[in-house]
Chains A and B, each alone.
Chain A
C-alpha cells in the first residue's frame, strides 16, 4: 500500500513514530495528486509551495514531540469557498478569479493550528450551486469510480480528491446535500454537522441559514478526528452555538446495542432505483444485527422540503451574492455609468445556474411575492423542523438513502434544472431543520458505482451518528474499496 492510500489515523501513527516525515509524505502525496489530476481534475489551485512550507513546520513539531495532533503533517484538500489568506479563493466562479482573501476562514485557522497541510483548493459547483460540479467555471471534475460520471456536488472536488487519494481528507460545505451527495457518489464518508456546530466564518456564503462546513474522509474514524479539530464555538460567527464538543473518537467506539433507528417511509418512494433501495435495506438489517432497534417513522412534510428549499436558498443567495458588483474585488467589466458597470460585470462574472438562482431568489423576495413564496417557505420550514423534533422523541437516529441514484453521466441533468434539483431530495430537509447528517458507503451498483447510506441525528448529537456509522463500517468493507480511475 502506498503512503497516500492510508487513512489519517494510520498515517498519523506513522508520522508520530517517525516512520515517515511530513515533507516526505507531502511530496509523495503531491506526486500522486499531480499524476492523477489530469484524469480527475479535483483542484482549481494546487498549493504545493504552501504545502511544503507547512510540512517543514509540521516536521519541527513532530520532532519536538509536543503539541502533536492526529492531523499534524497530514495533507488535506480545502473546498475553494473557504477563504485562505493570500491564496486564491474563487468559489469556482469567474467572478472571483484571482481573488486573494486577506484572512483565513476559522476552520482553516483551526486546521493550521492542528498542523495540517493544505495541498490545494478543490473544485466545486459555482458558488456551491449544483449537484454535479458541472457549473464550475474552471473545469469538470470526474468521478474516480467512472471518469465519464459526475462526482456529485457541490463539493465534487473535495469528494474526488479523497476518493482518488490525492488528499487524506478534505473540507466541504453542505447547503442542501453538497457534502453528503458527492460523498455518496464517490464512495467516501461525509458529515454535515448540526447548523451552528462549525463556524461559518470565512465560508463564502450561498444560503446563510443552511450552509455548514464538514469533513469528507476515507472512513468514519477520520471523520471523527476532523470533527475534533473543526467543531466548536467561534465568536466571529453569531450563529455558532456555544455547545460543548465531546471527543468524537472516544464516543464513536461505544456500543450501539439498543440504539433506536427510525426509518421514514417518505424516503422510500415508488420508482426509486432498486439497487439503492436494496443496499439501504441491507444496511438497516446489518445495523439491526449489531443490536439496534428499528422503528418505522414518518416525516410527513419532507415531500415539501425541496420546494421550500428552492425559495429559501435562492432568496438568501440573491442577497449574499449582491456584493459581487465589481467595486472592491473580483471581476469588473467597464460601463458608461455605475448601473451599466454593475449589470455587465454580473452578467459576465456569473454562470447560468448562479444567475438562475439569483433571479429566482430576487423574485421570491420582491414586493408582492414575499408572502406567497418566502414567508410561506419559512412556515413550511417550521413544519419540517417539527417533524424532526417529533421523530427524535421516539428514535436516536434516522436512516435513509443519501441519494435516489448512483452517479450520473456528464450533461445528463444540465438541460432541465429541476431534474438536477431532485438529486438532493433526501438531503435537503436535514439542512432546513438544521440537524446533522452523515453519508457513508453501503454498497456498489452493478456498474460499480458507490451507493451512500444517510444517517440523521439530533441537534448537536454528531457523536451518536459517528457511533452508528463506525459500528456499521467496522462490520463491512465498503470503505476499503478503491476506485478504478477509469472510464466506463
Chain B
C-alpha cells in the first residue's frame, strides 16, 4: 500500500514545568543549572518521615492553564500516588493525579494550511517532576551503554502540569502547530519558561496509523526524548513511515516506547524487559483534596490576559491583517503589544506590520536584539511608514532610513531632511533626466521599439542612478513609457 493510503493518528503529552519560586511540596528553589543536590531538602529527598505540603501558587498556575485551554475545572480534585521504581524518583512513587484531574475536557484551536482546526485536550493535571540521571562510564554516556548512573535531585519535586491531547492530530505539521500554539499560550499566561533545552517543556507523542477511511485505531507507539519542536516533527514523520513499512510487510506494530535518536535521526525501541506497567495508583493519604471555591476559579479566569487566538482574530478584523500576519504578530505577547501601540499611530497598520515582520525582524535576528533592546519606539517607525505612504521617500530610500533608525534611533523625518533624501516627484525634473538617458542610449530605445519591452527596467535604473536614487520610481516608469510609446 502506498504511504499516502495511511492516515496517522497522533496524541501528544506535554509536560510543562511551572515557574513557581519553590517546588510543589517543599520550599526548595526551582532555579535551573545549579550544582547537583544543592536544592534538596528532607521532603524532596523523600527522607523517611517527611510529608508534602501543596504549593498554592502551583494550583493557581494549573487552573490558569486549564482556563486557557478551555477546560472544565474540577469541582473535586485530589492527588494520587503513581508507584514505580526508578532512581530519579526518591519516594519510589510520583505524586500525580489519576481519576480526578484538576482540568479536563478542553480544546486548543490550531492554524493549519487548511484553516483552523480544533484539537481536544483530554486533561491537564498537576504532578511533581523527577530528578535527573547522568548516565556515566561506558563508551558514550548513553543509557544503554553506561556502567553506572548518577542521581541529582535538584529537579525532583518541581511542579509540572501534564497536558494530554485527544488523538485528534493527523500529521507532523499539525503536531508542530499544536505545540507552537500551546507554548504561545503558556508564555502568554506566564506560568512557564517553556524552555525545551532546559527541560521546562517536554513532549511525548503517541503515534499510530490506520488505513484511510477506517475508524479503528492502529497499535500505537510512544515516542520519547524529543527535546525540540523540530525533533518532534522529524520523529513523528519517521515513525509514520516506519509503521507503514511494518504494515506493508504484513507485520504488526508492537506497542512499545521508542526513543528519538538525534544522531541517527530515527526512533529506537527502548527494549526494556517489558514488564507490564502496574502503577498501583491510589489516593495520596498525605494530602487532602482540592475543592476550589467557585469564585476563586472564576477570578483566575477573569484575570487571564487576552490569549493568542482571540488576539489573532481581533488583529485580522481591526487592523486588516491577513491570518498569517496576525498569527506571526500574536505568536509572542510582547510582539503583539508592540504592534498594537504602533497600529494606533499610523493610518496604515498593515504597512507597520510589514516593517515589523520584514526589515525589523531581519535586523533583530541579525543583531540578536530583543524588543526591549530597540533604540526606537513605535512612533518613529510609524513616521517612516507615513513618509513612504506620502511618497516623500521611495522604498529604496526607506530601507536606508530604516537602517539609520534601527542603528542610531534617529527620527526618519530628520534622516530624510539631513541627508536631503526627499524623493524627487517634480515631473519636469524627471522628464529632463529621462530625455538625457534616452538620448544617451539609442540602442536600448531601438530594442524597446522592436518589442523587447523588458529593457525598460534598465532605463529606469539609469534615471534613478542619475537622480542619486531620489527620483520617484513610479513616475520615472510612467514618463519613460509615455515617451517611448508615442
Question: Do A and B form a real pair?
Answer: yes
Contact A205–B49 (Cβ < 8 Å): yes
Given A239-B288, A338-B87, the answer on whether A202 and B49 have CB atoms closer than 8 Å is yes
Q: How far is the CA of A329 from the CA of B49 in the complex (A)?
A: 13
Chain A residue at minimal CB-CB distance from B47: A101
Contact A236–B51 (Cβ < 8 Å): yes
Chain B residue at minimal CB-CB distance from A322: B92
User: Which residues of chain A have a CB within 8 Å of any CB of chain B?
Assistant: 81-83, 89, 91, 96, 99, 101-103, 105, 200-205, 207-209, 235-239, 315-316, 318-319, 322-323, 325, 327-329, 338-339, 342, 362, 365-367, 370, 374
Given A101-B42, A325-B92, A328-B45, the answer on whether A366 and B280 have CB atoms closer than 8 Å is yes
B238 at interface by CB-CB < 8 Å: no
Further 12 A-B residue pairs, CB within 8 A, beyond A208-B286, A322-B91, A323-B90: A83-B49, A89-B48, A99-B48, A201-B50, A202-B50, A237-B53, A319-B280, A323-B46, A325-B85, A325-B92, A362-B280, A366-B278
Q: How far is the CA of A315 from the CA of B42 in the complex (A)?
A: 24
Contact residue among A91, A207, A342 (Cβ-Cβ distance under 8 Å from B48) = A91
Chain A residue at minimal CB-CB distance from B277: A367
B285 at interface by CB-CB < 8 Å: yes
Q: How far is the CA of A204 from the CA of B51 in the complex (A)?
A: 10
Q: How far is the CA of A110 from the CA of B281 in the complex (A)?
A: 35
- How many whole Å from A312's CB to the nearest CB in chain B? 9
Contact residue among A203, A342, A365 (Cβ-Cβ distance under 8 Å from B49) = A203
B280 to chain A: which residues have CB within 8 Å?
318-319, 362, 365-367, 370
Contact B93–A322 (Cβ < 8 Å): yes
Which residues 396-427 in B have Cβ within 8 Å of A in the complex? none
Contact residue among A105, A204, A374 (Cβ-Cβ distance under 8 Å from B282) = A374
Nearest 5 CB-CB pairs, A to B? A322-B92, A365-B280, A208-B285, A209-B285, A204-B48
Contact B54–A204 (Cβ < 8 Å): no
19 A-B pairs with CB atoms under 8 Å apart are A83-B47, A83-B49, A89-B48, A99-B48, A101-B47, A102-B42, A201-B49, A201-B51, A205-B286, A239-B288, A315-B282, A316-B282, A323-B46, A323-B48, A325-B92, A338-B87, A342-B85, A367-B280, A370-B282
Q: How far is the CA of A318 from the CA of B83 in the complex (A)?
A: 9
Q: How far is the CA of A365 from the CA of B81 in the complex (A)?
A: 11
Q: How far is the CA of A434 from the CA of B56 in the complex (A)?
A: 27
- How many whole Å from A111's CB to the nearest CB in chain B? 15
B46 to chain A: which residues have CB within 8 Å?
323, 328
Q: Which of B48, B87, B149 has the most CB of A within 10 A?
A: B48
A103 to chain B: which residues have CB within 8 Å?
42, 47, 50
Q: Which of A82, A342, A365, A370 has the most CB of B within 10 A?
A: A365
Which residues 39-77 in B have Cβ within 8 Å of A in the complex? 42, 45-54
B151 at interface by CB-CB < 8 Å: yes
Q: How far is the CA of A318 from the CA of B281 in the complex (A)?
A: 12
What sequence of 0s and 1s flags, for each residue 275-291 of chain B, a beta carbon within 8 Å of any chain A beta carbon? Answer: 00010111001111000
Which residues 266-321 in B have Cβ within 8 Å of A in the complex? 278, 280-282, 285-288
Q: How far is the CA of A96 from the CA of B54 in the complex (A)?
A: 28
Contact B93–A319 (Cβ < 8 Å): yes
B50 to chain A: which residues have CB within 8 Å?
103, 201-202
- How many whole Å from A306's CB to the nearest CB in chain B? 20
- How many whole Å from A85's CB to the nearest CB in chain B? 10
B48 to chain A: which residues have CB within 8 Å?
83, 89, 91, 96, 99, 101, 204-205, 323, 329
Q: How far is the CA of A56 from the CA of B477 in the complex (A)?
A: 103
Q: How far is the CA of A235 from the CA of B47 in the complex (A)?
A: 18
- How many whole Å from A202's CB to the nearest CB in chain B? 4
Chain B residue at minimal CB-CB distance from A342: B85
Q: How far is the CA of A199 from the CA of B49 in the complex (A)?
A: 11
What is the count of residue pairs linking A and B with beta-carbon distances less than 8 angstroms? 101
Q: Which of B85, B90, B151, B280 has the most CB of A within 10 A?
A: B280
Contact residue among A99, A101, A238, A342 (Cβ-Cβ distance under 8 Å from B287) = A238
- How many whole Å from A383's CB to the nearest CB in chain B? 18
Contact B285–A316 (Cβ < 8 Å): yes
A89 to chain B: which residues have CB within 8 Å?
48
B287 to chain A: which residues have CB within 8 Å?
238-239
A236 to chain B: which residues have CB within 8 Å?
51, 53
Contact residue among B47, B53, B83 (Cβ-Cβ distance under 8 Å from A319) = B83
Contact A329–B81 (Cβ < 8 Å): no
Q: How far is the CA of A317 from the CA of B176 in the complex (A)?
A: 44
- How many whole Å from A79's CB to the nearest CB in chain B? 12
Q: How far is the CA of A323 from the CA of B46 in the complex (A)?
A: 7
Which residues 148-190 in B have Cβ within 8 Å of A in the complex? 149, 151
What sequence of 0s and 1s flags, for each residue 240-276 of chain B, a beta carbon within 8 Å of any chain A beta carbon? Answer: 0000000000000000000000000000000000000
Contact A237–B51 (Cβ < 8 Å): yes
Q: How far is the CA of A101 from the CA of B41 in the complex (A)?
A: 11
A365 to chain B: which residues have CB within 8 Å?
83, 280-282
Q: Which of A91, A96, A201 has the most CB of B within 10 A?
A: A201
A204 to chain B: which residues have CB within 8 Å?
48-49
- How many whole Å from A309's CB to the nearest CB in chain B? 14
B54 to chain A: which residues have CB within 8 Å?
238
Q: Which of A239, A315, A319, A338 has the most CB of B within 10 A?
A: A319
A322 to chain B: which residues have CB within 8 Å?
83, 85, 91-93
Contact B81–A319 (Cβ < 8 Å): yes
Q: How far is the CA of A81 from the CA of B45 in the complex (A)?
A: 18
Contact B87–A102 (Cβ < 8 Å): no
Given A208-B285, A342-B85, A366-B278, the answer on whether A102 and B47 have CB atoms closer than 8 Å is yes
A327 to chain B: which residues have CB within 8 Å?
87, 90, 151
Q: Which of B50, B83, B85, B288 has the most CB of A within 10 A?
A: B50
Given A322-B83, A322-B92, A366-B278, the answer on whether A238 and B47 have CB atoms closer than 8 Å is no
B81 to chain A: which residues have CB within 8 Å?
319
Contact residue among B47, B92, B278 (Cβ-Cβ distance under 8 Å from A329) = B47
Chain A residue at minimal CB-CB distance from B93: A319
- How many whole Å from B127's CB to the nearest CB in chain A? 16
- How many whole Å from A366's CB to the nearest CB in chain B? 5
- How many whole Å from B201's CB to the nearest CB in chain A? 28
Chain A residue at minimal CB-CB distance from B273: A339
What sequence of 0s and 1s flags, for each residue 106-143 of chain B, a beta carbon within 8 Å of any chain A beta carbon? Answer: 00000000000000000000000000000000000000
Chain A residue at minimal CB-CB distance from B86: A338
Q: How far is the CA of A105 from the CA of B93 in the complex (A)?
A: 22
Chain A residue at minimal CB-CB distance from B288: A238
Q: How far is the CA of A235 from the CA of B52 in the complex (A)?
A: 10
Q: How far is the CA of A99 from the CA of B47 in the complex (A)?
A: 10
Contact A328–B285 (Cβ < 8 Å): no
A202 to chain B: which residues have CB within 8 Å?
49-50
- How many whole Å from A357's CB to the nearest CB in chain B? 15
- How many whole Å from A86's CB to the nearest CB in chain B? 13
Chain A residue at minimal CB-CB distance from B280: A365
Chain B residue at minimal CB-CB distance from A361: B280
Q: How far is the CA of A236 from the CA of B43 in the complex (A)?
A: 10
Contact A323–B87 (Cβ < 8 Å): no
Q: How far is the CA of A204 from the CA of B42 in the complex (A)?
A: 12
- How many whole Å from B145's CB to the nearest CB in chain A? 13
- How many whole Å from B211's CB to the nearest CB in chain A? 32
Contact A239–B282 (Cβ < 8 Å): no
Contact A323–B91 (Cβ < 8 Å): yes
Chain A residue at minimal CB-CB distance from B276: A367
Q: How far is the CA of A81 from the CA of B47 in the complex (A)?
A: 12
Q: How far is the CA of A252 from the CA of B288 in the complex (A)?
A: 32
- How many whole Å from B288's CB to the nearest CB in chain A? 6
- How many whole Å from A342's CB to the nearest CB in chain B? 6
Contact A239–B91 (Cβ < 8 Å): no
- How many whole Å from B159's CB to the nearest CB in chain A? 16
A318 to chain B: which residues have CB within 8 Å?
83, 280
Chain B residue at minimal CB-CB distance from A203: B49
- How many whole Å from A380's CB to the nearest CB in chain B? 16
- How many whole Å from A204's CB to the nearest CB in chain B? 4
Chain B residue at minimal CB-CB distance from A330: B48
Chain B residue at minimal CB-CB distance from A200: B51
Given A103-B42, A322-B91, the answer on whether A367 and B278 have CB atoms closer than 8 Å is yes
